[in-house]
Structure 1
Amino acid sequence: MDKKDLRIIFMGTPEFAVESLRTLVETGYNVVAVVTQPDKPVGRHQDRLQPSAVKEYALSKGLPVLQPVKMKDPAFVETLRSYNADLQVVVAFRMLPEVVWAMPRYGTFNVHAALLPQYRGAAPINWAVINGETMTGVTTFFLDKDIDTGRIILQKEFPIPDDADVEYVYDGLMKLGAEAAKETIDKLIAGDGHIDSKAQVVDADTELHTAPKIFKDTCRIDWSRNGKSIYDFVRGLSPYPGAWTEMKATDGGKDYTVKIFKTVKTDKPSNGEPGTIVVVKNHLLVNTANNLLEITLLQLSGKKRMETSAFLNGFHAIENYRFE
């Protein structure tokens, strides 16, 4: 089988998926159509429609684009069927009904940004960093009726440095995911439609970590946790969506919401209640359950992101505040 004979439909929405689509298109694979989310209303009055990153790339290459509101819509299903695809490739998209994922003769595989069965769910990159993992990766697997439980085709590892934030891991996995997608298809072609896969096995003594969708409340910092845990939490949400905390005035003054994007671990033991602030020269430190944690990059609501030194120069009476 030649790669030009294999008819592929690609499904994805964000920038993360574009790298995989670009790799397939620009290395000669036969992508016959692209499925992505409907354009999203944006702007102050939600009066402007923003196409997805995948749609923008697909249109730039002259690829047909389908944007169903409902994946089970009969008109969409029939249109999808009309492309007579041999394979569907899914990267950072939504859950598919069986009528869609079972349609191609060689099935549908997904590129997931974690080493399954660990970190099944919508936000695997964030949660791997939040949990202090030193290794993550990507998995390609065949879709089935449950979320992220299908048969594994291949996996590629990606180390997480201790000072890495989500942006670093996201960029690395985006490129690695594209490599995995291409390699998976190559295996399928080499096997003339057959590809080895294995069931996901979870040992009884293995702790499974999940990766649920992240909401605003998920991002609030709990200062009663230890310093390392908070350090990982902050970098696991930086630069987006951003860990946050309330900066409460202890003297009846104005309270603020603060996003924190970067911290530095210290070996200095805490000397006060969790959340209390300590300023040493031009350094902003916060008490945690065990050690002082230094904040080096933050943003007051309504203000621009800034280094802590600039923040302290412009914000007076910081000693009258604590984080909650």
Structure 2
Amino acid sequence: MATSLKIIFAGTPDFAAKHLQALLDSEHEVVAVYSQPDRPAGRGKKLSPSAVKVLAQQAGCPIYQPESLKTQAAQEELAAIQADIMIVVAYGLILPAAVLHTPRLGCLNVHGSLLPKWRGAAPIQRAIWAGDKFTGVSVMQMDEGLDTGPVLLEKSMVIPPLATSASLYDDLAELGPEALIEAIDNIENLTPVVQDDSLASYANKLSKEEAKVNWQESAAQLARNVRAFNPWPMVWFEHKELALKVHAAQVVEAFEEYPVGTIVSVSKEGIEVAAREHNLLLTCIQIPGKKAQEASDIINGKPDLFIEGELISSAHQPI
């Protein structure tokens, strides 16, 4: 590394905090930290600081929490810090052009995909949802588009076969800081690579409605949904007036043809339900008001809930 850089860091959740910690541990100087304003959280809805703010307070960094960076006052305040570069990781606020061009070296973003694939809000979840074999992180020079700036550095990884969005999030939270430090240590020598927009895909936000099981989908897609939507919004289906969340499921071979949504078998291995192409074995389920349980425990406790040959209630309804 040729020079120690004065850095403004902007981020909010734990994923961002891991990148801030890497910067604090480096030879660079974090001169200011931006994070979203404290938000209500928990049952009491008390105002709670973000993970980034908590870490910044512990490190003694100056903290800024504007509602927006679009005002002249906020932009002048940021410019007065006179940073060399601004690092943005899961900040959650739009950076206007004036901010993007304020630091001497501009603004870098760490994005949880191999751009231009999965631009947007939910790249980690969408990679699993789509059945991708690989993912990674991209360190990008920010411009005014949505994750459209030139890429300075990428690090890739194989997506583990049973990865959930929670576990993959943790993996990328380790990979991302490594990529970030490597990028800023070599910032003067990296050649930006312009993204090919023709290869772009967009990682749309998840919704509870999307997470509702559509038994018309293939078993493979349903199993990917279970992993991609864990821990939020969680795949769920309605059966006997209960909204049941699925924490784990796997594809199993279908030896006989049943109408989709039919309960094929109920055993200690789980609840096997007919879907397209193959069957889906539900192995961990959550009943409203209770913790997630192995399907075998639910079968023992509620033997009448799942009966072989019955149709899952929500399979009657078009989705």
Q: Shorter-chain TM-score: which interval?
A: over 0.9
Q: Specify the SS of the correspondent of 2:186.
A: helix
Structure 2 residue 103 is matched with structure 1 residue 104: yes
Alpha-carbon distance in 1 for matches of 2:145, 2:72: 22
Distance 2:242 2:226 in 1: 18
Aligned residue for 2:303? 316
Q: CA deviation at 1:39?
A: 0.4
Q: What is the match of residue 219 of structure 2?
A: 227
Q: Structure 2 vs 1, CA of residues 196 and 306 (structure 1 numbering), >3 Å: closer, same or farther? A: same
Counterpart of 1:306 (choices 290, 293, 298) is 293
Q: Does the alignment pair 1:197 with 2:192?
A: yes
Aligned residue for 1:73? 71
Contact 2:245 2:287 in 1 (8 A): yes
Quote the RMSD (CA, aligned, Å): 1.7
CA contact (8 A) 2:110 2:138 kept: yes
Verify: 1:295 aligned to 2:315, yes or no.
Answer: no
Is the CA contact (8 Å cut-off) linking 2:226 and 2:249 kept in structure 1?
Answer: yes
Counterpart in the other structure of 2:143 = 144
User: Deviations for 1:268-294, whole angstroms, at most 9, x for unmatched residues?
Assistant: 246322222233332211110121110
CA contact (8 A) 2:35 2:52 kept: yes
| Number of residue equivalences | 309
Q: Which residue of 1 aligns with 2:317?
A: none
Letter in 2 for 1:198: V
Assess if the C-alpha contact under 8 Å between 1:277 and 1:323 holds in 2.
no
Whole-Å separation in 2 of the counterparts to 1:17 and 1:135:
22
Q: Structure 2 length normalisation: TM-score?
A: 0.92
Query: CA separation in 1, counterparts of 2:204 and 2:181?
Result: 27
Aligned to 2:236: 244
Structure 1 gap ranges (5+): 250-254
SS of 1:217 mapped into structure 2:
coil
Q: Which residue of 2 aligns with 1:57?
A: 55
Once the two structures are aligned, what percentage of the paired residues are identical?
36
User: Are the structure 2 counterparts of residues 227 and 52 from structure 1 closer, same or farther at C-alpha, using a change threshold of 3 Å?
Assistant: same
Q: Distance in 2 between matches of 1:139 and 1:300?
A: 39
1:151-191: per-residue Cα shift (whole Å, max 9, x none)? 11111101112221112211111111101110110111xx2
1:256-271 alignment runs, 5 A limit: 256-269=242-255, 271=257
Q: Offset at 1:8?
A: 0.5
Distance, in Å, in 1 between the alignment partners of 2:266 and 2:206 is 34
